[in-house]
Structure 1
Amino acid sequence: MSQLLLFNKPFQVLTQFTTNDDKSTLADYINQPNFYAAGRLDYDSEGLLILTNEGAVQHYLANPKFKQEKTYWAQVEGEISDSALSALRKGVELKDGMTRPAKARVIEEPNIWPRNPPIRERKNQPTSWVELKITEGKNRQVRRMTAAVGFPTLRLIRYAIGDWTLDGLLPGASTLVDVTLNLPKKSTDNARHRPNGNRNQKQFGHTKKRARR
């Protein structure tokens, strides 16, 4: 049995515990010793971040080769076209190579918290929401994918990683969940008990895993 800390990262929070400037960090929200982020989420993106106190679990969740599907909600500029969705589903050519095929569909605006500050909006320019599911983690990948097909992302929220979701978590809130993971043997053998992360890198539904608050 392992423990994960599910955290709803607010807009403009660094996924580290310390910084040399005045930017907000995880230390402003999390006081759980020896837990480290399994993967990252951009400063200007919001949503689900998973932290763990086990190195093997961190490696498993963060490494793209294990293909943990990540679900994103992207508010894009313009009414996204069928051809753009088709391109996202086939894979998009980025500067660092082709993306894997994504699951992409238009969704209604989610019933979520307002962003502070709000997105920039252009007069007479509509926006639309797209759900993207990907299994890799290129730098700022979702933003670059939507831009590549002609629809820049204005707001980005990671809703889920695998079976874990934001359900029940408001921005800045976190919850511990008990899970049993079938980790690949190589991942377990190669990872130290302490996560690789450096501590000096300083309610709207239900969770699918049993939560302990």
Structure 2
Amino acid sequence: MLPTAENPTHRHFLIHKPYGYLSQFVGEAKKKKLGGFHDFPAGIMAIGRLDEDSEGLLLLTTDGRMSEYIRSKKVEKEYYAQLDGLIDDEALARLQAGVEIGIHNVRYQTNPCKAFRLSSAPAFAPRARKIRDDRHGPTCWVSITLTEGKYRQLRKMTAAVGFPTLRLVRVRVGGVLLGDMPSGAVLEVTDLEG
């Protein structure tokens, strides 16, 4: 899309948000924020959020319309989650059908989603803060693809089926992939429609 008077040139960035950072640029003085990673332009905003304990692909833009579109239910968001225990087919089917979770003390039925076990652990670098070791029991990795994003939704969904999330990494937003981008890396792109 070419810039016009109605559509000024906007800037877009991909960031591999590390564990322990907030998806914001200002506020809560003692928390780590994204502004320290790069000299971002004025008006930059995170498209959606990853909580402080989550990692992975975060899109940034100066374009409010693009942000609104990507946050909509039209765009899939895929996550890899390391779960406590070995998830079974019944629990996966429950995730796929949607489960009831609590959002700010209100019961919410999640929409159906895509969910499956990964055959092997993804090749992510170790997290800055160790999760736990194998003495505490087995873990497994799953892929879960959502089109909604309520507060800590995915973590609440896996807990609701009996398999709490230990590590959560967003790997895809629409057609944009995290790929092998190292943790903390920032990449400016011409558009966000992958």
User: TM-score band, normalised by the shorter chain?
Assistant: 0.7 to 0.9
For residues 153 and 38 of structure 1, the distance between their equivalents in structure 2, rounded to whole angstroms, comes to 23
What is the rounded CA distance, in whole Å, between the counterparts of 1:8 and 1:119 in structure 2? 19
2:154 is matched with: 142
| Residue identity in the other structure for 2:18 | P
Match of 1:45 among 54, 57, 81: 54
Identity of aligned residues (%): 43
Over residues 90-134 of structure 1, what are the superposed CA-to-partner deviations in whole Å (9 max), with x where a residue is unaligned?
Answer: 111112311111101100100111101110346251000010001
Match of 1:56 among 62, 65, 72: 65
Shift of residue 32 of structure 1? Answer: 1.5
Compute the displacement of 1:3 (Å). 4.0
Contact 1:36 1:53 in 2 (8 A): yes
Give the TM-score of the pair, scaled to structure 1.
Answer: 0.80
Give the CA RMSD over aligned residues: 1.6
Structure 2 regions of 5+ residues with no counterpart? 2-9
Aligned residues, how many? 180
* Kept after mapping to 1: 8 A contact 2:176/2:192: no
Question: Which amino acid in structure 1 is aligned with residue 37 of structure 2?
Answer: Y
Give the superposition deviation at 1:152. 0.3
The answer (yes or no) to whether the contact 2:12–2:192 under 8 Å persists in 1 is no
2:6 corresponds in structure 1 to: none
Supply the AA of the counterpart residue of 1:120: R
In 1, are the aligned partners of 2:84 and 2:140 still within 8 Å (CA)?
Answer: yes
Q: Shift in Å at residue 140 of structure 1?
A: 0.4
Query: Does the CA-based 8 Å contact 1:67-1:136 persist in structure 2?
Result: no
| Secondary structure of 1:150 counterpart | coil
The two structures have a TM-score, normalised by structure 2, of 0.87
